């Protein structure tokens, strides 16, 4: 079963690489210029991208892989702290909104509207306010994290079986007991779905926030850097993208693992 | 019988209409109250604490920047909105198509999931230089492509969930009619997936505007909101930058509400939009 | 569980006392209409009785049960449970309720599901686990402590639900078509088990059902209800000998009582047993 899963994953990977190289060969042979011109700059070979990792990132410097690995660790710290802040704040806000119709009607529109503000635009301002280096990056990352958690916590808390709520009333249970013994456990599947989205969002937020904060040690700085040199070394930017993706997957995997341990539910009957 | 038809033709004002209109207004009151209180508090705090103008401008300053530069802001807003709309259409369309394809071959879907998650974990700005390289810095298509990339995943994953969370009994019923997979798709899975699809579309509306604005970070047309914001920020003219952010935000919210309205119409039958009457 | 339940009503007082109660549901929205769910309900249930409520769909029997449990409030008329207002009885934990759906928590094991009301009442861990073991024995599910609800059959889930309802030894047990979703054989078996539990715990039971045979087999009295609006049309005393056994089901008197209840349901007989012809009822 495991072996079959691993084999299919590798097969899909091979398929994707094949698609990339296939399209590249096809478009170059036909000199296609729509939708875009295809050459070694716009579409580097996959093996060039991987190979670039084992080249020095600059003259006599450390290997690109090493540089990117360090950058990933740096970003991971801000992303993780941002994830925690966002998850806790989002959960608390969800609980508050679930308990007060008034609060929900008053605040929910702004919670949603908050996500329409492009983070890139307000990041410089937050950095100036907080003056705190990587911590301000974490705060910006938490801005992207709290929203899915709030929305899903709210939905999850409200999704408790009404008969189960009646049962709690028959025990004359107080609101605190109903919350922690019924609503929160009912909400766990929804909460973890949101946490999985937030895991990747926190990485994205951290990376986006680094350039405005003039932080160069993380993946965000690496992206800006390799953007400048894209024409001379396109593979470096692609390699950075891969590493960023791996970081996101790593976070996602951690949360998935936690879900498998913490959430026990009837297996879903779906076709 | 004739009274009934006459009544429906003339279209008498249904009893309780005004009551319903009144309830609607009452529903909005808390949100409006929060807005007024929030803006008021902002104004007071910034004035009283003598917060420096370049850190956080007062709401009044932002409003005057808004009115002062209205034409520029509005045309930039429309320009960017067009990019967002194009990206939304492309991204959502592809999302639905891929979801339908994956629902037919669930094993492929499960195998692709990690790659989809990985692709989603890469921040959009990493792809911005590549899109600029592919389509050209000033070509709106480069921003639409970014917007499409950001919309694709939520729509795809929500639609896929909707297509595959069908009760086994519904599918078995279709099999008892000897219906093929295509019929099952059209008659069972797609209708079942509509609520999920719309949930994904609503998320995508907001993201599409963000994608279009962020896409300009590495350069774009001076007619766009993104470039406007970046320029004004680098000049520390934050009140104008905030005014542009307000415009972007309002357009995003408007888009979200518009899709919400379409959803309410398309999902008239669904539990979440039906009223509940106690027996 | 020796002796009567700790929270039974004071000597002589009825377990449930309802006089002239009615319940009207007001609709919301356009053309708000009223639904008279229950009208002019008089009912007295004495401690230790087993009373069934039976009637056609929409006669309000579930609503009546919920009103006794203070999960709904009546429009008029006092409802006393254990000689207190229904609200107070609920707050004091005087009754346990079992629904047609077992309403067990997926995220808790069988043992923790049964312990839920005990946790809420603040019992300490040792006392809880001892009571859980007793309950599992009572419903014949010893050994299933660590199973999850979805691993059990429907009948077993309902037994857990009953164990949970009785875990804190309430004086009153309210049951809303608890065996409605089960097959006939399981239902008959659970009927016997329920009677056994009732005898041992000496609680009072108010039982809602669709099945005439079940109502007659289980009860000391059957309250027959009519619909639109819901009223109690009549009460049938079930004078079959206790304890009931499988032989009771083939006793001629059993069939007579079933026929009586059926006639009452169809409105063809009034309380005095006088036949009233010509009145059909859906």
Query: Distance between CA B32 and CA A105 in Å, rounded?
Result: 9
CATH code, domain carrying B116: 1.10.3720.10
Q: Are residues A86 and A153 in the same domain?
A: yes
User: What does the pLDDT look like over C21-80, one tens digit per residue?
Assistant: 888 888 766 666 788 888 889 999 999 999 999 998 878 899 999 999 988 899 998 899
Q: Are residues A191 and A80 in the same domain?
A: yes
Instruction: Mention every residue, 6+ apart, whose C-beta is less than 8 A from residue A175.
Output: A99
Q: Are residues A19 and A134 in the same domain?
A: no
Q: Does A266 touch chain B (CB under 8 A)?
A: no
Q: Are residues B214 and B110 in the same domain?
A: yes
User: What does the pLDDT look like over C120-157, one tens digit per residue?
Assistant: 888 999 999 999 999 999 888 999 999 999 899 989 99
Which residues of B fall within a CB distance of 8 Å from C37?
Answer: 279
Q: For residue C30, give the nearest of B16, B278, B279 by CB distance.
A: B16
Domain hosting residue B23, numbered range: 2-46
Number of domains in chain A: 2
Query: Distance between CA B109 and CA B98 in Å, rounded?
Result: 9
Classify residue B51: in a domain, yes or no: no
Q: Is residue B208 a contact partner of residue B84, using CB atoms and an 8 Å limit?
A: yes
Q: Are residues B33 and B160 in the same domain?
A: no
Q: Are residues A36 and A167 in the same domain?
A: no
User: What does the pLDDT look like over A20-66, one tens digit per residue?
Assistant: 888 888 888 888 777 777 888 778 888 888 888 888 877 777 888 88
Where does residue A267 rank: exposed (0-12), middle (13-18), buried (19+ CB within 10 A)? exposed
Q: Is residue C224 a contact partner of residue C54, using CB atoms and an 8 Å limit?
A: yes
Classify residue B210: in a domain, yes or no: yes
Classify residue A9: in a domain, yes or no: yes
Q: Are residues A60 and A32 in the same domain?
A: no
Measured between CA atoms, the residue of chain C closest to residue B20 is C29
Q: How many CB atoms lie within 10 A of CB A1?
A: 5
User: What proportion of chain B, given as a percentage, has pLDDT over 70?
Assistant: 85
Q: Residue A270 — very low, low, confident or very high, per pLDDT cuts 50/70/90?
A: low
Instruction: Mention every residue, 6+ apart, whose C-beta is less than 8 A from residue C102.
Output: C149, C154, C157, C158, C160, C161
Which residues of A fall within a CB distance of 8 Å from C171?
Answer: none
pLDDT of B113 strictly over 60: yes
Q: Does A109 touch chain B (CB under 8 A)?
A: yes
Q: Please give the span between the terminal C-alpha atoms of chain A, in angstroms, as a whole number.
A: 20
pLDDT of C72: 87
Q: Are residues B207 and B250 in the same domain?
A: yes
Measured between CA atoms, the residue of chain B closest to residue C36 is B279
Q: Are residues B120 and B195 in the same domain?
A: yes
Instruction: Return the ∠ at Cα C138 (arms to C135 and C139), rounded to 5°.
Output: 95
Least confident segment among A30-39, A147-156, B71-80, C100-109: A30-39
Query: Distance between CA A197 and CA B120 in Å, rounded?
Result: 9
Q: Comparing C-alpha atoms, which of C121, C98, C82, C116 is closest to residue C204?
A: C82
Classify residue A138: in a domain, yes or no: yes
Q: Are residues B111 and B240 in the same domain?
A: yes
Give me C48's structure tokens.
């230790």
Q: For residue A230, give the nearest of B118, B133, B170 by CB distance.
A: B133
pLDDT of C125: 94
User: What does the pLDDT look like over B138-175, one tens digit per residue?
Assistant: 888 889 999 999 899 889 888 888 888 887 777 777 77
Query: Distance between CA A153 and CA A97 in Å, rounded?
Result: 9
Q: Are residues B197 and B123 in the same domain?
A: yes
Classify residue B273: in a domain, yes or no: no
Number of domains in chain B: 2
Give me B274's structure tokens.
């039906």
Q: Comparing C-alpha atoms, which of C259, C257, C161, C272 is closest to residue C218?
A: C257
Classify residue B213: in a domain, yes or no: yes
Q: Are residues A194 and A219 in the same domain?
A: yes
Q: Does C276 touch chain A (CB under 8 A)?
A: no
Q: Comparing C-alpha atoms, which of B151, B139, B158, B250 is closest to residue B198?
A: B158
Give me A112's structure tokens.
């949603």
Domain hosting residue A22, numbered range: 1-43
Average pLDDT over residues C167-185: 90
The predicted complex's ipTM stands at 0.74
Q: How many CB atoms lie within 10 A of CB A192?
A: 19
Q: Are residues A228 and A95 in the same domain?
A: yes
In chain C, what are the domains? 16-214 (3.40.50.300)
Q: How many CB atoms lie within 10 A of CB C122?
A: 8
Helix extents (H) in chain A: 2-29, 46-52, 64-99, 101-114, 119-130, 134-158, 162-170, 175-178, 184-209, 219-228, 234-262
Q: Mean pLDDT highest for which of A9-13, B122-126, C197-201?
A: C197-201
Q: For residue A106, give the nearest of B34, B133, B217 by CB distance.
A: B34
Chain B closest-CA separation from residue A177 CA (Å)? 27
Q: For residue B277, give the nearest of C27, C37, C58 by CB distance.
A: C27
Q: Are residues A13 and A79 in the same domain?
A: no
Q: Are residues A112 and A150 in the same domain?
A: yes
Q: Are residues B61 and B42 in the same domain?
A: no
Q: Are residues B103 and B160 in the same domain?
A: yes
Q: Mean pLDDT highest for which of B10-19, B98-107, C26-35, C215-224?
A: C215-224
Q: Are residues B18 and B77 in the same domain?
A: no
Q: For residue B16, give the nearest of C29, C37, C58 by CB distance.
A: C29
Q: Are residues A4 and A95 in the same domain?
A: no
Mutate which: B27, B122, B172, B227, vs A, most A CBs within 10 A: B122
Q: Is residue B144 a contact partner of residue B90, using CB atoms and an 8 Å limit?
A: yes
Q: Are residues B29 and B166 in the same domain?
A: no
Residue-by-residue DSSP string for B122-185: S-HHHHHHHHHHHH-TT-HHHHHHHHHHHHHHHHHHHHHHHHH---HHHHHHHHHTT--HHHHI
Element (H, E) at C67: helix C61-68
Q: Is residue B206 a contact partner of residue B252, using CB atoms and an 8 Å limit?
A: yes
Classify residue A144: in a domain, yes or no: yes
pLDDT of B43: 83
Classify residue B277: in a domain, yes or no: no
Chain C: touching chains (3 or more CB pairs < 8 Å): A, B
Least confident segment among A199-203, B74-78, B264-268, C83-87: B264-268
Classify residue A15: in a domain, yes or no: yes
Element (H, E) at C206: strand C204-209
Distances (CA, A) of B139 to B208, B211, C34, C155, C162: 17, 15, 63, 67, 69
Classify residue A142: in a domain, yes or no: yes
Interchain CB distance below 8 Å, C116 and A177: no
Q: Are residues A210 and A134 in the same domain?
A: yes
Q: Are residues B124 and B166 in the same domain?
A: yes
User: What does the pLDDT look like over A181-200, one tens digit per residue?
Assistant: 999 998 888 888 889 888 98
Helix extents (H) in A131-218: 134-158, 162-170, 175-178, 184-209
Q: Are residues B127 and B40 in the same domain?
A: no
Tell me the pairing of strands C231-237 and C221-226.
Answer: antiparallel
Q: Are residues A129 and A144 in the same domain?
A: yes
């Amino acid at each position: 079963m495991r072996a079959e899963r691993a084999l299919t994953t590798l097969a899909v990977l091979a398929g994707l690489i094949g698609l990339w190289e296939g399209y590249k060969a096809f478009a170059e042979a036909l000199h296609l210029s729509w939708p875009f011109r295809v050459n070694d700059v716009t579409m580097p070979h996959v093996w060039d991208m991987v190979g670039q990792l084992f080249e020095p990132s600059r003259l006599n410097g450390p290997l690109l892989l090493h540089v990117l690995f360090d950058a990933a660790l740096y970003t991971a710290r801000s992303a993780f702290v941002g994830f925690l802040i966002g998850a806790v704040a989002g959960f608390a806000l969800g609980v508050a909104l679930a308990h007060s119709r008034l609060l929900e009607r008053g605040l929910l529109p702004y919670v949603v509207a908050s996500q329409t503000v492009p983070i890139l635009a307000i990041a410089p301002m937050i950095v100036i306010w907080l003056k705190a280096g990587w911590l301000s990056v974490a705060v910006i990352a938490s801005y992207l994290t709290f929203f899915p958690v709030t929305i899903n916590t709210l939905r999850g808390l409200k999704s408790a079986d009404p008969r189960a709520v009646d049962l709690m009333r028959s025990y004359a249970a107080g609101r605190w007991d109903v919350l922690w013994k019924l609503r929160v456990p009912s909400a766990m599947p929804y909460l973890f779905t949101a946490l999985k989205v937030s895991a990747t969002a926190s990485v994205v937020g951290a990376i986006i926030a680094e350039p405005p904060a003039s932080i160069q040690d993380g993946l965000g700085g690496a992206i800006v850097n390799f953007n400048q040199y894209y024409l001379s070394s396109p593979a470096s930017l692609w390699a950075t993208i891969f590493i960023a993706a791996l970081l996101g997957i790593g976070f996602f995997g951690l949360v998935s693992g936690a879900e498998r341990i913490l959430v026990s539910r009837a297996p879903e009957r779906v076709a | 019988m004739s009274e009934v038809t006459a009544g429906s033709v003339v279209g008498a004002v249904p009893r309780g209409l005004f009551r319903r209109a009144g309830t609607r207004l009452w529903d909005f009151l808390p949100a409006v109250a929060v807005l007024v209180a929030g803006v008021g508090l902002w104004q007071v705090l910034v004035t009283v604490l003598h917060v420096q103008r370049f850190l956080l401008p007062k709401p009044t300053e932002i409003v005057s920047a808004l009115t002062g530069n209205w034409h520029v802001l509005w045309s930039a807003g429309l320009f960017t909105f067009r990019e967002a709309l194009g990206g939304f259409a492309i991204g959502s369309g592809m999302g639905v198509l891929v979801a339908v394809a994956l629902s037919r071959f669930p094993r492929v879907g499960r195998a692709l999931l990690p790659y989809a998650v990985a692709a989603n974990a890469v921040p959009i700005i990493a792809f911005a230089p590549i899109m600029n390289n592919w389509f050209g810095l000033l070509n709106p298509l480069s921003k639409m492509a970014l917007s499409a990339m950001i919309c694709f995943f939520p729509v795809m994953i929500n639609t896929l969930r909707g297509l595959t969370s069908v009760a086994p009994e519904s599918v078995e019923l279709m099999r008892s009619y000897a219906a093929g997979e295509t019929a099952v798709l059209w008659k069972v899975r797609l209708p079942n997936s509509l609520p999920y699809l719309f949930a994904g579309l609503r998320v995508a509306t907001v993201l599409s505007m963000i994608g279009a604005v962020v896409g300009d970070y590495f350069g774009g047309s001076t007619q766009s909101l993104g470039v406007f914001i970046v320029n004004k920020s680098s000049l520390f003219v934050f009140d104008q930058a905030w005014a542009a952010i307000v415009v972007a935000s309002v357009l995003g919210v408007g888009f979200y509400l518009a899709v919400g309205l379409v959803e309410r119409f398309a999902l008239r039958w669904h539990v979440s939009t039906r009223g509940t009457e106690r027996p | 569980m020796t002796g009567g339940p700790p929270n039974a009503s004071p000597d002589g007082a009825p377990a449930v006392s309802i006089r002239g109660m009615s319940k009207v549901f007001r609709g919301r929205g356009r053309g708000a209409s009223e639904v008279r769910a229950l009208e002019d309900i008089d009912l007295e249930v004495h401690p230790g009785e087993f009373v069934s409520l039976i009637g056609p769909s929409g006669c309000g029997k579930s609503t009546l049960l919920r009103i006794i449990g203070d999960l709904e409030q009546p429009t008029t008329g006092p409802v006393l449970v254990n000689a207190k207002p229904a609200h107070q009885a609920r707050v004091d934990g005087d009754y346990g309720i079992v629904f047609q759906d077992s309403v067990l928590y997926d995220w808790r094991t069988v043992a923790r599901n049964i312990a839920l009301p005990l946790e809420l009442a603040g019992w300490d861990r040792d006392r809880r686990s001892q009571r859980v073991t007793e309950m599992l024995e009572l419903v014949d599910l010893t050994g299933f402590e660590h199973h999850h609800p979805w691993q059990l059959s429907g009948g077993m889930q309902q037994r857990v639900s009953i164990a949970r309802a009785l875990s804190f030894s309430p004086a009153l047990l309210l049951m809303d078509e608890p065996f409605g979703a089960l097959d006939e054989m399981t239902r008959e078996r659970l009927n016997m088990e329920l009677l056994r539990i009732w005898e041992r715990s000496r609680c009072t039971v108010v039982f809602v059902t669709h099945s005439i045979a079940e109502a007659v087999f289980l009860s000391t009295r059957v309250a027959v209800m009519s619909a639109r609006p819901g009223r109690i049309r009549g009460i049938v005393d079930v004078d079959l000998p206790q304890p009931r056994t499988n032989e009771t089901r083939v006793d001629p008197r059993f069939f007579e009582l079933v026929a009586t209840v059926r006639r009452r349901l169809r409105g063809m007989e009034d309380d005095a047993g006088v036949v009233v012809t010509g009145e059909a009822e859906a």
